[in-house]
Structure 1
Amino acid sequence: MSTRPPYAPSSLPSLRKLDAADFEPDEQWKTQLKKRIEEGLQSMVQEAKDNQDAELKKAPVGVEARMRLAEEYKQAMSNIKQLATDQYQQELDRERNQPQYHEQYQAHR
């Protein structure tokens, strides 16, 4: 008679403790989130470009005015980038705190 158990070790549930990495969404989810955020903010990017173009076409613009417009555009783009970063972090934190992750954690404790 064999003393080998009737199950394969790979069929056993994992008994290891879960850590923060177990609550991390996968890379595909993160990539899709970034794309969705970029698409959502595209109208703001376009509006910043359109505003700059409109100001430049209004009348002859001197060097100082061009520099001011360039700085305003740069600031608008920086603000949009910060919005995207903040939104990404909020969505990521929300996903990490989803109940399904915590249920998995509790089941393995």
Structure 2
Amino acid sequence: MCASADETTTFVFDSRVAVGAVDFQPGGRLADWALGQEGLRLHVSPKGDYLPGERVKVTVRFADGAAPASASFWLVGHASRGTRRVEVFRQPRPPDVLKKERDEA
């Protein structure tokens, strides 16, 4: 999703995110980020020099132990079209169902 410098993108999850389970690659390209107290919101603000086309991978791990255990997103720099709110709906499923879907794909 698009992210603009100095504008916050908020991720809203329907499952709790584990404390300390948010990873950014490459690190250091975000001015600020915070996980909400209930582990359902993640606020991300790119630095002012975040360039159009620049990419940062955001990975979150969920707290409930169900599969899928994590989700990854790409923040792509855009001069003016930053995404303000991303709602993430997770449908936990047994691992064997996920493996079958992966194999079929």
TM-score, normalising length from structure 1?
0.21
The higher relative CO (CA closer than 8 Å, separation ≥ 6) is in 1
TM-score by length of 2: 0.22
Larger strand fraction of residues:
2
